[in-house]
Amino acid sequence: MNQDLNFNIFNENLNNIPNNNIYKTPIYKDVHIRIQPRGSNRYITIVEFLAEDLDLKKICKAFKKNFNCNGAIAKDDEIGEVIQVSGDQRENIKKFLIEEEIISEKQIIVHGNIT
């Protein structure tokens, strides 16, 4: 699964900001992975609070390719951008984020029971 994908966005304008040391250390929150029921036996998996310096389009594309499912990036007024993936993909997404070293296991919160 390690395809040496770069999910970080490089911002050249960051070097032009005075006292940019506060911008070089990203503040990572806990990433929440949850499911939302959509009818009978259908679910959408939602990934919330990914760091802003990550390329969500590339991550969503990798989810769709690796898990053989559909996915999209949705904008939420309170949370910001979230990734929505069809089906119950909580365990797959957790493994992917850890294996690709996007975030550590301690920073991932999975909601609901994983069977």
Q: What is the CATH number of the domain that holds 70?
A: 3.30.780.10
**Stated pTM of the model:** 0.73
Structural domain of 57: 26-110
pLDDT at 65: 96
Choice among 15-19, 38-42, 110-114 with the minimum mean pLDDT: 15-19
Q: How many of the other CB atoms lie within 10 Å of CB of 25?
A: 7
Question: What is the rounded (10 degree) CA torsion for 53, 32, 58, 86?
Answer: -160
pLDDT one-digit tens code per residue, 56-78: 999 999 999 999 999 999 998 88
**Overall domain count for the chain:** 1
Choice among 33-37, 49-53, 91-95 with the minimum mean pLDDT: 49-53
Backbone angles phi, psi at 88, to 5 degrees: -90, 95
Tell whether 1 is covered by a domain.
Answer: no
